[in-house]
């Protein structure tokens, strides 16, 4: 049974078995675990059952919840975890009894070492303790109660200060971000010194000035910029001397005569330089308004030790932050390169522009983490920007109107095309540049739009809408999408040029020149490795009469439909092309004669059964096909393979059309004689059988 142990003064003060949930922890009497300490919030933290065990959650406490010296929002509890509430209450989480772990925990969290025993502060602590011991050794005589009280106060103060140094030292060895380390330092500093306000300032050599980076009040709330004012004279002296400076009393100390000090009614203040590895990082500053609070030289000794620890923690945190920032930059670059690689790989087998655009848009949406988007392309002739592909639209009507037209400068996309610069808008429909023609009920919260550029010419734009989890688009998203768009623009332009070279503009099939090159390559492969290769030539029956009757526009529609059915019938490994006019062809690698004949018949039936609705008329066409096979025909080269398929096509047309014919080479004299002899033998057996009957 899991349980929590409350440890104070080297002993277990209380133990709670965790049996029912949730378990609330705080200062309020209604909590399950109650701690009457000012640093513990009324409802400080909560323990619940999670999928992988118990989970502790900070309930937005004032003084934070730490697990193993690190501030948490939520944390999956593990055996031996150290939970600290308000930097005061120490709890040990155990899954089962563990005396050794408990003893180690007590030892680790009560022993405080001062590395620099020769420091002023260390010497002062030693002197205080020696004085106490000497006083108590007065030969058994009674010690004045006031003396004992003073000794006890000094000892308690030293313990608190040592504990603070230890906790700041823990921050030195942590791997927290700089912002978290600064929060921990300022919290401990205010608590240990009894001050009311703490400020950490960083020195900027280029401007030769101190700039506050964090300022907090005694209740750990962040102060406003107006309240971050401080005595620059005391901070400057601490920087120049490299030592702590104490301003004891407003009425007597010249350091406390500045306007900011008077305005805030500051009674006393103390400031020490933050020095790490011989370099002054800035200053640590604390002040107080209490009438009786006066910082002393004794405070300066402790404050110097505290500033030294803090400087080490800040320097280490800066390194951690810089490393994490560099890692994030590397991760961003890796993410970018991976996205670019995936885009380029996905386009290798694509043979139409809309599919190219769809793949680019899908990758963009996935990489940026948006909900939906669109790609718009610019038409140089009409000077219109039109939506070519969309993804994830809420209103289905938008899909029915995918060719929305924009002019340069119109809408966010129009502005991007006009300026050539990407735009981030997290205003949604409230943005004055929002595309009014789009769906106004689409719950648009943010838009990221970047140009598609080929060199310095804008050819379109990528438009993404709404990040997932209601996040806002940021500059990193803009940079990444800009990189993707740059690669995409090159891909689109290369595809256009390639498409013009190898694809027929009407049917979107490969052109005759590409077919010849492809067949040559496949013929050489089949010949080298003795594999199968088949070729089909096809011709639309009576197509000239069809054009004469219905016109060339209807004829073009027929060509487009036949090409579509041809692509649907073919495998991804096959190549289909427009041979010329109304003639088409299909190269079938690693396909024997029986497979080619089956292909031809499927295509013939598909076209025969297909009906074309044109201007209220139902039209249909048929095709004739010629089939040749590399091994059956024994073709010497690809030209012979084409010749044999063409011969078979002619035979199919001569035989009545709407059929396929297979080319088979003429039999040799020997083959013919063998076949005749075989037929005679077969006939003789049949006659004998008949006579027997």
Catalytic residues: 582
Contact (Cβ atoms closer than 8 angstroms) between residue 464 and residue 422 = no
Strand partners, 376: 387, 461
Q: Which two tokens stand for residue 421?
A: 């610069």
Angstrom distance (rounded) from CA 512 to CA 110: 87
Which H/E stretch holds residue 296? Answer: none
Angstrom distance (rounded) from CA 11 to CA 24: 23
Q: Which two tokens stand for residue 617?
A: 């008329």
Q: Is 200 helix (H, G, I), strand (E, B) or coil?
A: strand
State the virtual CA torsion across 369, 371, 374, 375 in degrees, nearest 10. 10
The residues near 679 (Cβ < 8 Å, ≥ 6 apart) are none
* Burial of 80 per CB tally in 10 Å (0-12, 13-18, 19+): middle
Contact (Cβ atoms closer than 8 angstroms) between residue 282 and residue 182 = no
Angstrom distance (rounded) from CA 114 to CA 368: 50
Contact (Cβ atoms closer than 8 angstroms) between residue 152 and residue 144 = no
Angle made by CA atoms 600, 647, 581, in degrees to the nearest 5: 70
Q: Which two tokens stand for residue 341?
A: 């690689």
Q: Which two tokens stand for residue 172?
A: 């030195």
Contact (Cβ atoms closer than 8 angstroms) between residue 599 and residue 536 = yes
Which H/E stretch holds residue 267? Answer: none
Q: Which two tokens stand for residue 497?
A: 């040029």
Q: Quick one: the chain helix, strand, coil %, rounded to 5?
A: 45, 25, 30
Angstrom distance (rounded) from CA 436 to CA 318: 47
Angstrom distance (rounded) from CA 538 to CA 458: 42
Strand partners, 634: none
């Amino acid at each position: 049974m899991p349980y929590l142990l409350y440890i104070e003064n080297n002993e277990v003060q209380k133990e709670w078995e965790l049996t029912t949930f949730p378990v609330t922890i705080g200062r309020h009497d209604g909590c399950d675990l109650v701690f009457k300490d000012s640093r513990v919030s009324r409802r400080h933290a909560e323990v619940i059952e999670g999928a992988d065990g118990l989970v502790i959650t900070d309930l937005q406490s004032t003084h934070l919840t730490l697990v193993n010296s690190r501030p948490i929002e939520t944390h999956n509890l593990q055996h031996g975890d150290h939970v600290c509430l308000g930097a005061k209450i120490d709890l040990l989480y155990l899954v089962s009894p563990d005396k050794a772990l408990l003893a180690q925990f007590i030892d680790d969290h009560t022993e405080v070492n001062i590395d620099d025993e020769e420091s002023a502060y260390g010497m002062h602590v030693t002197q205080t303790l020696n004085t106490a011991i000497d006083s108590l050794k007065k030969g058994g005589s009674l010690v004045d109660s006031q003396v004992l009280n003073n000794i006890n106060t000094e000892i308690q103060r030293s313990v608190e200060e040592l504990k603070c140094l230890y906790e700041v030292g823990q921050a030195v060895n942590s791997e927290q971000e700089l912002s978290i380390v600064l929060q921990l330092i300022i919290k401990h500093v205010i608590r240990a010194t009894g001050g009311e306000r703490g400020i950490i300032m960083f020195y900027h050599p280029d401007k030769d000035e101190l700039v506050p980076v964090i300022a907090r009040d005694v209740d750990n709330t962040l102060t406003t910029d107006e309240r971050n004012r401080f005595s620059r004279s005391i901070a400057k002296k601490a920087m120049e001397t490299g030592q702590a400076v104490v301003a004891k009393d407003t009425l007597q100390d010249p350091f406390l005569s500045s306007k900011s000090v008077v305005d805030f009614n500051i009674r006393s203040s103390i400031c020490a330089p933050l020095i790490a590895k011989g370099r002054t990082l800035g200053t640590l500053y604390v002040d107080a308004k209490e009438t009786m609070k006066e910082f002393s030289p004794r405070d300066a000794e402790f404050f110097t030790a505290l500033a030294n620890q803090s400087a080490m923690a800040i320097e280490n945190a800066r390194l951690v932050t810089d490393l994490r920032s560099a890692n994030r930059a590397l991760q961003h670059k890796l993410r970018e390169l991976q996205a670019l690689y995936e885009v380029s790989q996905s386009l290798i087998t694509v043979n139409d522009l809309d599919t190219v655009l769809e793949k680019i848009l899908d990758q963009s949406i996935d990489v940026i983490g948006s909900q939906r988007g669109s790609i718009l392309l610019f038409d140089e002739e009409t000077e219109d920007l039109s939506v070519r592909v969309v993804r994830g639209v809420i209103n289905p009507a938008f899909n029915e109107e995918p060719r929305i037209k924009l002019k340069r400068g119109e809408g966010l996309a129009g502005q991007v095309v006009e300026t050539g610069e990407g735009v981030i808008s997290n205003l949604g429909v409230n943005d004055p540049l929002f595309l009014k023609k789009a769906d106004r009920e689409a719950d648009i919260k943010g838009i990221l739009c970047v140009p598609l550029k080929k060199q310095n010419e804008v050819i379109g734009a990528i438009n993404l809408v709404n990040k997932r989890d209601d996040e806002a688009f940021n500059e990193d998203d803009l940079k990444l999408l800009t990189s993707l768009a740059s690669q995409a623009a090159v891909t689109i332009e290369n595809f256009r040029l390639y498409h013009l070279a190898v694809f027929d503009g009407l049917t979107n099939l490969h052109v005759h020149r590409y077919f010849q090159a492809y067949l040559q390559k496949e013929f050489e492969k089949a010949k080298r490795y003795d594999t199968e290769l088949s070729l089909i030539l096809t011709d639309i029956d009576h197509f000239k009469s069809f054009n004469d009757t219905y016109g060339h526009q209807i004829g073009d529609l027929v060509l487009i439909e036949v090409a579509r059915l041809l692509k649907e019938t073919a495998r991804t490994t096959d190549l289909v092309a427009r041979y010329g006019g109304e003639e088409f062809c299909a190269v079938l690698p690693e396909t024997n004669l029986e497979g080619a004949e089956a292909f031809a018949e499927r295509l013939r039936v598909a076209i025969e059964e297909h009906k074309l609705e044109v201007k209220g008329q139902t039209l249909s066409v048929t095709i004739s096909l010629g089939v040749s096979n590399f091994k059956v025909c024994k073709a010497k080269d690809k030209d012979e393979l084409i010749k044999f398929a063409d011969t078979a096509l002619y035979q199919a047309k001569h035989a009545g059309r709407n059929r396929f014919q297979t080319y088979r080479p003429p039999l040799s004299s020997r083959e013919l004689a063998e076949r005749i002899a075989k037929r005679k033998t077969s006939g003789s057996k049949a006659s004998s059988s008949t006579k027997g009957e």
